Structures are given as C-alpha cells and as structure tokens.
Amino acid sequence: MIENKKVVLAYSGGLDTSVILKWLQDTYQYEVVTFTADIGQGEELESARNKALQFGIKPENIFIDDLREEFVRDFVFPMFRANTVYEGEYLLGTSIARPLIAKRQIEIARQTNAGAVSHGATGKGNDQVRFELGYYALNPNIRVIAPWREWDLLSREKLMTYADKHNIPVDMKHKQGGSPYSMDANLLHISYEGRHLENPSAEAEESMWRWTVSPEQAPDEVEYLDIEFERGDIVSLNGSRLTPAQILTRLNQLGGKHGIGRLDLVENRYVGMKSRGCYETPGGTIMLKAHRAIESITLDREVAHLKDDLMPRYASMIYNGYWWSPERISLQTLIDQTQQKVNGWVRVKLYKGNVIVVGRDSRTDSLFDPGIATFEDDKGAYDQKDAAGFIKLNALRMRIAAKKGQ
C-alpha cells in the first residue's frame, strides 16, 4: 500500500511549529497542511498564514479557524456543569482545549485526504497524550508524527540554529530572548511554566501576570454581577443575553479587573513527574463559584453529592486526555441530566481577588422551602419530634458497636 504523503500540522506560526513545518518537509518529504485554531488566545493569527506561504504551503492547505464559540459552548460549558477541578485547584484551561484542536485536525485530514497529523508537544508533558488520544479515538488509522520524540533539537538554542540554517523567519521576541516562560492561552485561561517557575519555592514575579491585576492593586470598590443560568449554563450577565464566547470574554474582563483567578500550583502530570505552573483563570473562577451557588438551591442533596463524588474522576479524564473516551461521554450524559433544572440567577460581589456569593434564586426550580427551613413558627410544616427516631436509627450500629466494647 502506497503511503499518503500529506500531514496536517497544528501550527501557531511560532518558533517551534515553524521549525517543525520545515523539518516535516525535509525529514519525511511530506506535503504539509497547516491548521491554526483561534480559541481566544488573543494573538494575531493571519501572520501564521503569511509564514506558511513562505514555506511553500499551498493557499488551499492553510486553515485558520475561529473556534471560540465551539470551544466555550461544547467544551468549557460541559466541563463546568460538573464543577470540574483537578487536584482541588486547577480549572483545566489547557487540558480542555486539546480535544477540540485534535477534533478539527482530524476533520481537516479527512477533508484534505491527509494520512498523518503532527503536533508540537514535547515528550515530557501531558499535551502529547491529550492530542494523540483524541486523534486515535476519532481516526484509529491515522499516523501521528511527534517531532519532539524523534529529533535532537531539544533546546531553544538548537531550534534557533536550525531556523537560521534553513532561513526560517524568527520573531524578534525570540531573537531577544522572548518571555522567560512557556505560555499557553485561550478563552478560559493563560498558563506559565518553565525558567524561574521551575524553582517551586520562588514566588512568581508580579510582571509575569498578563490578565489580572494584583489583588492589592484591584479597585477599592466592590462590583456586583448578576449571572443567569439555564440548564447549568450561563446565558446572561446583568440582564444582557450573550453568546458563550462573549460571556467568558466579559467574565475574564471583570475578573481580571478585580484580581480574580490567579493560581500557583505544583501538579502531578500524567507521565509521572511533578510540574509547577501558574495560571490565570478569571472568568472560570467566577463561573465555578456561581454555578455551585445555583446548584445549591436547585439540585437534590444526593444528586449534588453524587456529582461531587464523581467530579475528581471526571477531572482526571480531562486532564489525562480522555475527553473522547466512552467513560467520559457516559459520565457527561449523567452530568447533563442533572442540569435540566439548574435554572435561575446568582448575584456575586467581586472584590480584591474574591468572588463572594450574596444571593441566588430560581423562580421555577428552587428546592429551598422557607416555610420548612424557618427558625420561626413553621405552623406544623416540620414535626421536630420525628428527629428523635431518625437519630436513633442512624445511631443503632454505633450503639451496638459501643456495647460490644463495654
């Protein structure tokens, strides 16, 4: 069987993927199709098109796709319905973007009749797993080329030397040293790793943060925000209905203004090592707090507790790259079913790094009954004498055990 000599490369136009593009052409003699995803990273992406053209890529083989709405609607929102947090803190901003990029790469491979896909993830990290599990789940016969696991260009200096040798355009920021961090950004977050942060005892410099002001420098005045939910998803802010991407963009602006969403974390990577990273997730931090608040009055107790029991496993599935697995899809069905009556509004107060819930209500689906919960006369709605038998029955096993120990 003759191998199809065409590959779809996840291409940013930066140093790494520009070198990979040339390396694929020279090492494999592949015809390269470039795919650049706009998922809200806030960068000018048309420069990627110009760079690809300089490498001789055919115009019809250059894909620059705006995936912002799909990203928030079909990936971020479903994840937040589960109140997903990895290892108690991380809101999975990088993790949740990878299955979408993998999905679109496979779609482009089918569209262009490419037999292979390629990415710029290193052999040390989680992203190689996330990308490739997605590729194989969506096309079990696809060939995957991961240059960082094959070549010897294992330092920035070697990449620069390769770029100079092959006349690969390099941005001035790379020539001058660029940022001291490895960064990843999308509409949900921006992450920082490497260099200074590789010492977990060292505090991150204030100049590193890009989306949020420090809590100390945040406004001295509180800001109130009304958030409306339908079936577990945010649909409006302060009474204005917005699209999913518009909602997250606005929440990022508000959270960043008030110093909300900074995280300094040492996490456990799937490949086995520990890694220190810093994250800014201002909008996601507000979303999580508000979602738990609306669930507090609309979800049955046992359903809520079941979700909390399952969430760590769901979070690990996403962190480790199993978005397209049958177990994640099955669990998502359960999660989405629990959200059918998660409707209503939440009011939060934003102040110096804090998201403070100050009110919540659901006109149609609240399970909060003030007539029963009141500390005043409930007019017989709740018979307090019933509690005695309830307590005795629940204490029975402990009473038996205690008697045995006498």
Active site residue 127: yes
- CA pair distance 318, 285, nearest whole angstrom: 18
Answer whether residue 248 is part of any domain: yes
- Same-domain check for residues 108 and 159: yes
- Same-domain check for residues 263 and 349: yes
Q: What is the CATH number of the domain that holds 175?
A: 3.40.50.620
- The answer to whether the beta carbons of residues 40 and 245 sit under 8 Å apart is yes
- CA pair distance 21, 296, nearest whole angstrom: 50
Answer whether residue 198 is part of any domain: yes
- Same-domain check for residues 164 and 193: no
Answer whether residue 395 is part of any domain: no
Answer whether residue 378 is part of any domain: no
Selected residue with higher pLDDT from 42 and 63: 63
Domain boundary pick from 181, 207, 224: 181
pLDDT at 109 over 50: yes
Answer whether residue 266 is part of any domain: yes
Instruction: Flag the least confident range among 44-58, 60-74, 137-151.
Output: 44-58
Confidence of residue 179 (pLDDT cuts 50, 70, 90): low
Answer whether residue 206 is part of any domain: yes
Active site residue 264: no
Q: What is the CATH number of the domain that holds 217?
A: 3.90.1260.10
- Same-domain check for residues 42 and 172: yes
Question: Which candidate in 47, 182, 296, 366 is catalytic?
Answer: 182
Answer whether residue 244 is part of any domain: yes
CA angle 197, 170, 179 (to 5 degrees): 20
- Same-domain check for residues 194 and 159: no
- Same-domain check for residues 144 and 196: no
Question: Which candidate in 12, 16, 118, 184 is catalytic?
Answer: 16
Amino acid at 141: N
Report pLDDT for 19. 94
Active site residue 16: yes
Active site residue 98: yes
Confidence of residue 104 (pLDDT cuts 50, 70, 90): very high
Question: Which candidate in 98, 250, 328, 360 is catalytic?
Answer: 98
Backbone region of residue 357 per phi and psi (left: phi > 0; alpha: psi in -120 to 50; beta: other values): beta
pLDDT at 173 over 90: no
Selected residue with higher pLDDT from 165 and 173: 165
Domain boundary pick from 150, 181, 212: 181
- Same-domain check for residues 217 and 323: yes
Confidence of residue 42 (pLDDT cuts 50, 70, 90): confident
Q: What is the pLDDT of residues 294-343, one digit of tens each?
A: 999 999 999 999 999 999 999 999 999 999 999 999 999 999 999 999 99
Tell me the mean pLDDT in the region 132-156: 95
The tally of domains found in the chain comes to 2
- Same-domain check for residues 195 and 109: no
- Same-domain check for residues 232 and 264: yes
- CA pair distance 365, 343, nearest whole angstrom: 7
Domain boundary pick from 157, 181, 205: 181
Tell me the mean pLDDT in the region 51-80: 96
Question: Which candidate in 49, 127, 191, 362 is catalytic?
Answer: 127
Q: How far is CA 181 from CA 19, 67, 90, 170, in A?
A: 19, 25, 19, 17
- CA pair distance 60, 48, nearest whole angstrom: 14
Q: Are strands 344-351 and 223-230 parallel, antiparallel or unpaired?
A: antiparallel
- Same-domain check for residues 171 and 62: yes
Q: Which domain holds residue 100?
A: 6-66+95-181
- The answer to whether the beta carbons of residues 248 and 234 sit under 8 Å apart is no
Answer whether residue 74 is part of any domain: no
- Same-domain check for residues 145 and 190: no
- Give the count of beta carbons closer than 10 Å to the beta carbon of residue 152: 7
Q: Is the dihedral of CA 388, 393, 397, 399 positive or negative?
A: positive
CA angle 150, 152, 156 (to 5 degrees): 120
- Same-domain check for residues 258 and 354: yes
Q: What is the pLDDT of residues 214-238, one digit of tens each?
A: 999 999 999 999 999 999 999 999 9
